[in-house]
Structure 1
Amino acid sequence: MDLKSASPMLNILQTRIGIVFSIFVPAVFLLIWMTGYNHATDRIDQLRVGLVGVDAAGAEDRIASVIDSMPFQVIPQAELSAALDDMNEGGMDMVIALPSGLAEQAQSGSGARLTYYVNDRSSEVVKSVMEGMAARLTTGLNGVIVPDAKPMPIQGEVVKTNPISNFATSMLPMILGFIPYIASMTANIQFNISSMRLIREYSQWDIFLSRQFILAGIAIVVPLLMSAATKLFLAAEASFWQLWGFEALVFAASLTVTQFAFAYFGNAAPLFNVLLIPVQLMTAGNIISASMLSPFYRELGSFLPVPNGVDGAMRLVYGGGSLSGSAMGLVWITVVALGLSIIRIAWSERGKATVPVKAAA
């Protein structure tokens, strides 16, 4: 085996970049995920639970003491339908329906039932925590109301809203929300190489406008294909045109953000774009609720394409909740990223125009 080419290979810029990426990518994932997820399960007190029922907010002391001992935020609700709508919008993580006269029903042996509503499209961690808390709460209420009764007269029932029956469908929100960013990142790497080849023949404005024309075509055509494939192979609550329109916004935001990186960081832009991957995966909320993350990361996802894309895709695939918040988030991300790229090019062109030209000798 001859390794004479190793030294010349190491002198090539692309080889050195490859080495940097091999170190940078795992280090970034390790650093961001370990700091973001650190002690996440200890932040159950950030989860919100709606309590619905007659006199639920002013329940007798024994019931209130058990509910107050649970490590989450209890929010009294007047109506079950409004509470479930709030849960669909992401305002709560579980809704508890507390029947009127719970203590009397339990003590008389006529049967008392608590109903716990959990959104099936919530993260697996949140669903697991809420179901565990439901069992603890039911046991706790039995212990203080009818401590010696066996079997326990108060029973709990967990009802999952927006149920997911197909595992492939459960992966669809991540595909629709995350894959566009990866596609945009790799596409803009190639477009940047093309732009560098054309810079000697055309102005930055000419190249930039041509690039926007191509990116606009991608943001229209690729979502069209993805939406068609989605409706063809999997069941989604939204119509084809709703899927296509929202997916176009996801691509527009992803393309402009990854392009913005090249405008400001040049050849180091891929490192910046890769840096955003673990941040966006973590704040998307499909692995763990963003409210359980470290404080620094909790609101960060609102300013990035993937978390907004995944949130909107979940509503499109499973139904329930308003799409306007995610859609407007993607619009603002697109406008800001595109505007910053334009400012950078304008500043660069202005700098070229003010460089003094030396007189000929």
Structure 2
Amino acid sequence: MVKAMIAFLKKPSTVVGIVTALLFQILFPIIWLTAYDHVTDRVDQFKLAIVNEDRGNIGEKVVQDLSNHLSFQVTKVDSLKQAMNDLEQRKYRMVIEIPANFSSLVQQLNQKAPFIFHINESNPTMIKNVMHSVANEVAKAANHESIKAGIEATFEQAHMPANQAKKMATMLSERVVMKIEPLHSVSNFSSSMIPMMVVMACFVGSMMMAMQMQKVSTELKEQFTKWERFSARMLINFASAIIISSIGATLIYSLGDHLAGGFLSLWLFQVTCMLAFLFVAQISLLLLGDAGAWVNIALLSIQLVSSGALIPRELLSPFYLEIGKYLPATYAVDGLMNLVLGGSGISETVASLLWITIGAAILGLLCVSLQRDTWAHSPREIASTK
């Protein structure tokens, strides 16, 4: 057994396997822990919109109070339609609507004024949880301001006995009711996990495929030129992306119970994602050979943390926020959220993925151009010499 172990350790593949496993343990903690370090300290990066349609003056007082005390980036928007459009595009995480009759209802003892919260649930699950908590806090703050305004308006009308004043104050203890209107409501948690699942499956699959293609390319270097081998890899990438995505999209469409888009859109988008991942995964291998697989391990981890699949991107540190703009996972997650959970469309994300694919293809061409071509004879000439 000892001799067998020594024989294993003498093989380069064994050493490569051990180093690869070690790199997973080194790279994942470094990337994940630095990316998510003090994430909760950056919740002030969340953007909320307030639309005040109140015809009285209490709504404006509430808006001023919220703007001063909420630890988020609060923007006053005049048009509810514009705010909802921005919410659809995830420019805002929540839209707070103060209805036109808010002041009037607050001052009526037998009425309660609604405070409407629009939350886009086509987002990481963290957004839904945080925004629901924020809605509760906002409703409490709105109640505080509304109670003061309601009492002032009531007591201005007449002097009241102490017992009646106490009864009145009790009735005014809750003047605002919270009303949450979700945009693209998600009832099944598994649906919210589809974007991350697809990104991981696509890139890990692309990593494995690129490694095997690199081995085959090395084996064929005496028979074909570097450009013939590179062209063949490109054609195989295109064909594989179509076939693999057909199976993946079919399974998602069959097993998923919440798909905002149709099967054709999902399939075409997954083909686009798969192409981008395949072209990106092969760059390091074309440049560094088999050692490029270790670069892809780091790319896998970086894309998972910077894509926005797990936590909103605005909570990331500036480094990961910036690097995510140039990686396909960011746009894959955004497009899949729109297709699976609901959203404003995928035209911009598709364009970004295509640009990344084209850029990766150009980098691949440059890497191949730097390689030394060891091909000397055509396959026919090789065969004739045997």
Deviation at 1:62, TM superposition (A): 5.3
* 2:303–2:324 Cα contact (<8 Å) kept: yes
* 2:119–2:131 Cα contact (<8 Å) kept: yes
Find 1:315's aligned residue among 338, 341, 348.
Answer: 338
Letter in 2 for 1:75: T
Q: Which residue of the partner structure matches residue 16 of structure 1? A: 15
In structure 2, distance between residues paired with 1:133 and 1:318 = 22
Deviates more, 1:10-19 or 1:103-112: 103-112
Deviation at 1:175, TM superposition (A): 2.9
Deviation at 1:167, TM superposition (A): 3.1
Q: Is 1:79 aligned to 2:79, yes or no?
A: yes
Task: Render the CA deviation track for 1:174-215: whole Å, top value 9, x for unaligned.
Answer: 233331111111111111111111112221111111111111
Deviation at 1:319, TM superposition (A): 2.5
SS at match of 1:146: helix
Task: Render the CA deviation track for 1:243-280: whole Å, top value 9, x for unaligned.
Answer: 12111110110000011111112121111111011211
SS at match of 1:108: coil
Q: Is 1:254 aligned to 2:265, yes or no?
A: no
Q: Which residue of the partner structure matches residue 136 of structure 2? A: 135
Change (3 A) 1:84 1:62: closer
Change (3 A) 1:18 1:349: closer
Task: Render the CA deviation track for 1:296-343: whole Å, top value 9, x for unaligned.
Answer: 111322211222112111111123212122111110110011101101
Q: Which residue of the partner structure matches residue 70 of structure 1? A: 70
Q: Which residue of the partner structure matches residue 221 of structure 1? A: 243
Letter in 2 for 1:159: E
In structure 1, distance between residues paired with 2:231 and 2:318 = 40
Q: Is 1:335 aligned to 2:334, yes or no?
A: no
CA RMSD in angstroms, aligned pairs only: 2.2
In structure 2, distance between residues paired with 1:11 and 1:5 = 10
Letter in 2 for 1:327: V
* 1:112–1:155 Cα contact (<8 Å) kept: yes
Deviates more, 1:192-201 or 1:6-15: 6-15
Deviates more, 1:196-205 or 1:118-127: 118-127
Deviation at 1:221, TM superposition (A): 1.5
Deviation at 1:26, TM superposition (A): 2.0
In structure 1, distance between residues paired with 2:283 and 2:253 = 32
* 1:283–1:301 Cα contact (<8 Å) kept: yes
Find 1:230's aligned residue among 228, 252, 262.
Answer: 252
* 1:50–1:75 Cα contact (<8 Å) kept: yes
SS at match of 1:157: strand
Find 2:318's aligned residue among 286, 295, 298.
Answer: 295
Stretches of 4+ aligned residues off by more than 4 angstroms: 147-151, 349-353
Aligned ranges 1:278-289 → 2 under 5 Å: 278-289=301-312
Find 1:179's aligned residue among 177, 183, 201.
Answer: 201
SS at match of 2:371: helix
Change (3 A) 1:154 1:187: same
* 1:95–1:118 Cα contact (<8 Å) kept: yes
Aligned ranges 1:134-153 → 2 under 5 Å: 134-146=135-147, 149=170, 151-153=173-175
SS at match of 1:100: coil
In structure 2, distance between residues paired with 1:253 and 1:221 = 15
Letter in 2 for 1:52: V
In structure 2, distance between residues paired with 1:350 and 1:251 = 29
Q: Which residue of the partner structure matches residue 212 of structure 2? A: 190
Q: Which residue of the partner structure matches residue 164 of structure 2? A: none
* 2:54–2:102 Cα contact (<8 Å) kept: no
Change (3 A) 1:352 1:190: closer
Find 1:270's aligned residue among 283, 287, 293.
Answer: 293
SS at match of 1:298: helix
Aligned ranges 1:148-163 → 2 under 5 Å: 149=170, 151-163=173-185
Q: Give the share of equivalent positions with the same residue, in percent.
A: 28
In structure 2, distance between residues paired with 1:176 and 1:268 = 26
Structure of larger gyration radius: 2
Q: Which residue of the partner structure matches residue 4 of structure 1? A: 3
* 1:284–1:301 Cα contact (<8 Å) kept: yes
* 1:308–1:329 Cα contact (<8 Å) kept: yes
Letter in 2 for 1:204: K
